Structure 1
Amino acid sequence: MASVSTTRSRRRSRRILVNVLYAIAMIAVVFFMLTPFLWMVLNAFKSPLQIIKLPPELIFEPTMRNFQNVFGTQNFMRYITNSLIIGAGCTLVGLLIGLPAAYSIARFGQNRLAIVILMARMVPGITFLVPLFIIFRTLGLIDTYTSLILTHMLVGLPFIVWVMVPFFESIPRELTEAAVVDGASAVRAFVSVVLPLSGPGIVTAAILSFVFSWNNFMFSIVLASSRTRTVPVAIYNFISYAQIDWGGLMAAAVVITLPVLVLAIVTQRYVIRGLTAGAIKG
């Protein structure tokens, strides 16, 4: 009995040690990931002299001057509106094209189409930049929402397709076949039967597509100008040849990050459910 008790005690001690080490590791990872964000937020409320002061001040009198510069002098609301329009357009058009494409791949085994879409996602976006610039310049679409929505879809559309394919594969074919037998067309069966059952996946694909568009920098800096400039590109307004407005830069970064952060917090359970549901259904 003593040996059994000793064995149990050792196992319990090992379990506690493992849990403690795991907790320490998680705290270290979270600290490492959150420190740059917290530092950015602190500097957004500091004056220029406080930002460059060494050692840095952790206790200081906050100022709203940087945010007044962002929304007043730099007119950041216009850039936020541009990003919202482009992100929403990219997501909606991507869903209209990507959902039928993903369903076709899942139901009819169009592996070649899937590989082509995957290659479009894997190829660096800069590869398409010059040809797209020439095409849009010829069509007179430079500095328009249309060109930016279409280019942002190079990132969003393949992701929508590859997120939705497992969902459509997990839906029993008997459901759509029964709808066709009852007189529904293939399109109506897809809209009325398949899409409602794929709600979590559609929400996940839409959210992530919007986030990718919101954060896109490369296409926007080349194809947009003052009228359609998005928030990542607008950051350059705080960088000049002579100096860098670190306070305004940090405040603008907070403004850019905050909507995506709130969206991620609010929808995290839907995203997790959407990314895992396709793998566990059926």
Structure 2
Amino acid sequence: MKSRLLNRIGLLFLAFVVVSPAILFFLWMLSLSLKFEIDNGAYPPIFIPERFAWSNYAQVFRENNFLLYLWNSILVTGTATALALLIGVPAGYGIARLKAEKAAVVVMIARMTPGLSYLIPLYLLFQWVGLVGTIWPQIIIHLVVTVPIVVWVMIGYFETTPIELEEAASIDGASAWQVFSMVALPIARPGIVVALILAVIFSWNNFVFGVVLASRETRTLPVAVYNMLSYEQVSWGPLAAAALVVTLPVLVLTMLAQRQIVAGLTAGAVKGG
């Protein structure tokens, strides 16, 4: 009993050590976003100010057209994630059931290859067809990142699901599409949720593609936050508020889907990750 208690305390301490830097950075960013510039430059640092500067958030949306950039991020991430699931889930199922190990290796290589490797040739292609500066190049190039993630997650998940139900459905006369859509997909829902969350995170936080391919009207939130930096003066309060605006949607989505994420992870949905 004592040994089990010590092990639990040790595990909790280890988790605290690992997670505490991220929590500290997030709380400090929140503190910066709620302070006036005179408090942000104070020494020793002030963590909780006497007055909260809610105007920092209003300034972000008033002076930087963040509603437009928020819509651009939602459009790019939502479309890229939907297309990635539409392509990646059936591909992962096919690779898992056919035991196509070479195809899985190709997917793994595509997942590990830096996105910058695709950026220059795709930029030249988009420039040739006249799409640079529009939303479509960002959606298409985000698929380069999201599709391999979805495929790899779903390969690992479908490899852990029992095949007996699918065989029984086939014996009863179900077609291959019916087996996939009516038997495999419902079972794989936790894995699909994990793939969706990972695709959203990688797409939403992508910075480099937006810098190169977007115009002033089509840039996404990470690019908009970067453009708030200037050589003359950095306003830490509005900048931290903008960073929180970028972080909040993914954070809320993860919190809402945490049960299904845990279920998908424990079922082996990220096997090989």
> How far did 1:27 drift?
3.6
Larger displacement relative to structure 2 (159-168 or 20-29): 20-29
> How far did 1:41 drift?
0.3
Q: Is 1:55 the counterpart of 2:47 in the alignment? A: no
1:200-211 to 2 correspondence within 5 Å?
200-211=190-201
1:38 pairs with one of 27, 33, 37: 27
Q: Is 1:175 the counterpart of 2:165 in the alignment? A: yes
Which residue number in structure 1 is paired with residue 127 of structure 2?
137
> How far did 1:19 drift?
5.1
1:167–1:201 Cα contact (<8 Å) kept: yes
Q: Is 1:99 the counterpart of 2:89 in the alignment? A: yes
Which residue number in structure 2 is paired with residue 3 of structure 1?
none
Distance 1:111-1:18 versus aligned 2 partners, 3 A rule: closer
2:107–2:148 Cα contact (<8 Å) kept: yes
Distance 1:208-1:20 versus aligned 2 partners, 3 A rule: closer
> How far did 1:83 drift?
0.8
Question: Following the alignment from structure 1 to structure 2, what is the Cα–Cα distance between the partners of residues 256 and 45?
Answer: 16
Q: Is 1:217 the counterpart of 2:210 in the alignment? A: no
For the aligned residue pairs, the C-alpha RMSD in angstroms reads 2.1
Letter in 2 for 1:103: Y
Which residue number in structure 1 is paired with residue 255 of structure 2?
265
Q: Whose radius of gyration is greater, 1 or 2?
A: 1
> How far did 1:212 drift?
1.0
Larger displacement relative to structure 2 (78-87 or 20-29): 20-29
Q: Give a deviation string over 1:83-134, Cα, whole Å, max 9, x none.
A: 1111111111001111111111111111111111111111111111100100
Distance 1:178-1:151 versus aligned 2 partners, 3 A rule: same
Larger displacement relative to structure 2 (35-44 or 136-145): 136-145
Larger displacement relative to structure 2 (107-116 or 29-38): 29-38
TM-score with structure 2 length normalisation? 0.91
1:105–1:114 Cα contact (<8 Å) kept: yes
DSSP-derived class of the 2:44 partner: coil
Letter in 2 for 1:118: M
Distance 1:202-1:124 versus aligned 2 partners, 3 A rule: same
* Uncovered stretches (5+) of structure 1, i.e. residues with no partner: 1-10
DSSP-derived class of the 2:254 partner: helix
Which residue number in structure 2 is paired with residue 75 of structure 1?
65
* Uncovered stretches (5+) of structure 2, i.e. residues with no partner: none
Letter in 2 for 1:119: I
Question: Following the alignment from structure 1 to structure 2, what is the Cα–Cα distance between the partners of residues 31 and 65?
Answer: 29
Q: Is 1:166 the counterpart of 2:150 in the alignment? A: no
Distance 1:190-1:28 versus aligned 2 partners, 3 A rule: closer
Which residue number in structure 2 is paired with residue 241 of structure 1?
231
2:181 pairs with one of 167, 174, 191: 191
Letter in 1 for 2:256: V
DSSP-derived class of the 1:278 partner: coil
> How far did 1:51 drift?
0.7
2:92–2:152 Cα contact (<8 Å) kept: yes
- The structure richer in helix per residue is 1
> How far did 1:181 drift?
3.5
1:220–1:230 Cα contact (<8 Å) kept: yes
Give identity over the alignment, percent: 45
TM-score with structure 1 length normalisation? 0.88
Q: Is 1:147 the counterpart of 2:143 in the alignment? A: no
1:143–1:225 Cα contact (<8 Å) kept: yes
Q: Is 1:278 the counterpart of 2:273 in the alignment? A: no
Letter in 1 for 2:266: T
Question: Following the alignment from structure 1 to structure 2, what is the Cα–Cα distance between the partners of residues 253 and 155?
Answer: 22
> How far did 1:23 drift?
4.4
> How far did 1:28 drift?
3.8
Distance 1:112-1:37 versus aligned 2 partners, 3 A rule: same
Distance 1:166-1:19 versus aligned 2 partners, 3 A rule: closer
Q: Give a deviation string over 1:113-158, Cα, whole Å, max 9, x none.
A: 1111111111111111100100111122212222111111122111
Q: Give a deviation string over 1:215-256, Cα, whole Å, max 9, x none.
A: 011111111112221110001232123122211110101111
Question: Following the alignment from structure 2 to structure 1, what is the Cα–Cα distance between the partners of residues 19 and 72?
Answer: 33
